[in-house]
Amino acid sequence: MLSPAEAMEAPNGEAARRRALAVSTASGNIGAIAFSRTGDPDSGDFAEGVVLASFGDVDLDALEG
């Protein structure tokens, strides 16, 4: 059964893309996405995420909702 891994923060979009590419090819993983979102971590209020890159087998439609 497939399940998502824990999200990781990156300092900028390019770092997020590189990290997602590395994660997507790591043993036991089939894909990864890099995304960006804005918000307030203290209140937990965040805007919708924007996908920056997708690597491997990722169903982007499953991310909605």
Range of the domain at 26: 13-55
In a domain, 41, yes or no: yes
The verdict on residue 61 lying in a domain is: no
Q: Which of 2-6, 24-28, 51-55, 61-65 has the highest mean pLDDT?
A: 51-55
**40 pairs with which residues across the strands?**
45
Q: Does 59 have pLDDT greater than 90?
A: no
In a domain, 62, yes or no: no
For residue 46, tell me if it sits in a domain. yes
Is position 63 within any domain? no
pLDDT of residue 1: 67
- Report residue 61: phi and psi, to 5°: -65, -30
- Note whether residue 40 is domain-resident: yes
Residue 33 belongs to a domain: yes
Three-class DSSP category at 38 = coil
Give the total number of structural domains in the chain: 1
Q: pLDDT at residue 12 above 60?
A: yes
**Stated pTM of the model:** 0.79
